[in-house]
Amino acid sequence: MSRKDRLWVAGLRALVASIIATLAVRQAALATLDIPTEFPPLAEAGPTVFFTAVGVFGATGVFAVIRRRSDRPEVLFRWIAVGVLLLSAWPDLWLLSDGAVGAFPGATPSAVGVLMLMHVVAGAVIVWFLTVRPARNAIRQIT
């Protein structure tokens, strides 16, 4: 399998694993926390699946570009992932502002905290499958 093919296989694995992980966080939060049912991002599973998929495809594309242009793509990608994760908190925090009340009813600190946790979980899974797991598989093939 070519290097390019391995990247897209890793991306697909990241897609499946991150969707499962974020849906598990969502389900656990809905079962244990007082999340308002009218809060759109968590009301149904659809937004979780869609936005997780967008993140995985975006991350896989960014990693593909970085791999071609960097001597240490895994390190650079991890730093970019941390930066994107920090930036992803901004819209979540905005949901708690007065300007978002009409568009996102039910935005409570616990609901927004769950969204932020889902970003962390998805980011960790994506970074694992794109940078750590392929390297571990390559080491196993050498030995």
Domain boundaries of the chain, sorted by first residue: 3-135
Is the confidence at residue 140, as pLDDT, over 90? no
**Residue pLDDT, tens place only, 63-121:** 999 999 999 999 999 999 999 999 999 999 999 888 787 788 889 999 999 999 999 99
Is the confidence at residue 139, as pLDDT, over 60? no
CB 38 within 8 A of CB 95: no
pTM to 2 decimal places:
0.87
Tokens of 119: 């970003």
**Residue pLDDT, tens place only, 8-22:** 999 999 999 999 999
pLDDT at 125: 97
pLDDT at 98: 81
**Distance, CA of 36 to CA of 38 (rounded, Å):** 5
pLDDT at 134: 63
Is the confidence at residue 143, as pLDDT, over 80? no
